[in-house]
Every structure is written in C-alpha cells, then in structure tokens.
Chains A and B, each alone.
Chain A
Amino acid sequence: EDQVTQSPEALRLQEGESSSLNCSYTVSGLRGLFWYRQDPGKGPEFLFTLYSAGEEKEKERLKATLTKKESFLHITAPKPEDSATYLCAVQGSGATNKLIFGTGTLLAVQP
C-alpha cells in the first residue's frame, strides 16, 4: 500500500535558522512527488514536483530533493512568512492520478 510519512510533525525555528523537513515514502512505481504549502483555513498551494531520484528544485528559500526512499525540503534562512504546514504527496503508477498525502510538518518561524 502506498504510504507517506513526514517528520517532524512540528518544527520551530528562529528567523535565519536553516533546517530540513523529511518525507519518506513507499509507492509502487513513483510517477511524481509533490510538495505543497498550506496556510490555516486555506487550500494547499503547489510548490514543487520531483520525478526521479537525484532531482532537485529550488524556489526562493526552499529547495526540494529526491532519493529513491525519501524527499527533503530544505529551508534556508527562513522568515516568519515561511510559517505554514508543508505537505508531501506521492502519485503512484496506475490509471488513477490520485495523490497520497502525508500528515504534514507544521513550521513556525519566530522573528
């Protein structure tokens, strides 16, 4: 069964303190791994798609990397506005395009 586990559940950082969020997955035939950001009371906002091991993508202070078993979301010199829940999801092989989500990492960046 396809499964996604995110850690830690919650992370508190000081402004400027870099760190990484982890997403471990098991899936039969990975077609894509997705990172989203979700603010309270809002829908998930798309950040990145990674397709194969070794791939990396960057956007402002965020960088996502992928191996055969996990993905990391690196946050460099975070700011308070980076505070949100970060969600990881995988899309497996098969006719359906459904996403399997982890429960997320709640990030709080203190000024």
Chain B
Amino acid sequence: NAGVMQNPRHLVRRRGQEARLRCSPMKGHSHVYWYRQLPEEGLKFMVYLQKENIIDESGMPKERFSAEFPKEGPSILRIQQVVRGDSAAYFCASTRGANEQFFGPGTRLTVL
C-alpha cells in the first residue's frame, strides 16, 4: 500500500523559471494539503484541495503560486517566476477527511 508520493524529490531552478511539484495521495484519499518548510522554520500550511476544488488557500502567497487537484492525476503546486526566497522543502499530505494527515517525502526546491 503505497504512501503519499511526491516528485521530483529535488528540483533546481534559476530565478524567473517555473517550478512544478507533483503529489499523488495515498490510495483512497481525496483530500490533499500542501505545506512549506523554510530552513529553521516550522511547517506552514499553504493550501487544502479536494478533487477539482480548492477548499482553503489562505496560506498561499497571492502572486506566482497556484495549486490544482484534477479529477484524474496528481495534485500540482505551481510556482511561476521563482525567486531565491522560494527555496524550501514542500510537503504534501493526504487524508480521507478531517483525520490524520499522512505526509510525503517532500520536494526540495533550490532557486539559484
């Protein structure tokens, strides 16, 4: 029973490029959450999605960041025109509902 899968595990981008992070939830889970972990800081909530719907995006920066969870396929976190401050570990978690969130291994984004 595979856990939450994220890819790529490591991503290097130059300033101004786009970053696309993918998350496949655990089997049977239809709720996906994205969190960001900056160096020396705790995990910060970004966005909560269900299939084809954004439920809560209160933690998402207003510009350059977007997320989707289509009917088919993984959830995508997209960062346009990346800046050095976007360098962080991005984690995806999934649940069946309002229960324990199970996390993936993360994508470590480095912006040069």
Contacts and interface: CB of A to CB of B under 8 A. Distances in A.
Q: Are these two chains actual partners, yes or no?
A: yes
Contact of A99 (B6, B45, B58): B45
Given A43-B91, A44-B91, A91-B98, A98 B45 contact: yes
Contacts of A104: 42
Nearest to A97: B98
Interface in A45-88: 45-46, 49, 87
Central interface residue in B42, B99, B105, B106, by most chain A CB within 10 Å: B42
Contact of A34 (B35, B100, B106): B100
Contacts of B55: 95-96
> For chain A, which range describes its interface: under 10, 10 to 19, 20 to 34, or 35 or more residues?
20 to 34
Nearest to A36: B103
B65 interface: no
B33 interface: yes
> For chain B, which range describes its interface: under 10, 10 to 19, 20 to 34, or 35 or more residues?
20 to 34
A103 interface: yes
Contacts of A42: 105-106
Interface of B: 4, 6, 31, 33, 35, 41-45, 48, 55-56, 58-59, 91, 95, 97-106
18 contacts: A4-B42, A34-B101, A43-B4, A44-B43, A44-B103, A45-B103, A46-B100, A96-B56, A97-B31, A97-B48, A97-B95, A97-B101, A98-B33, A98-B59, A101-B35, A101-B44, A103-B42, A104-B42
* The 4 A-B residue pairs with the shortest CB-CB distance in the complex, in nearest-first order: A43-B103, A96-B56, A98-B45, A103-B42
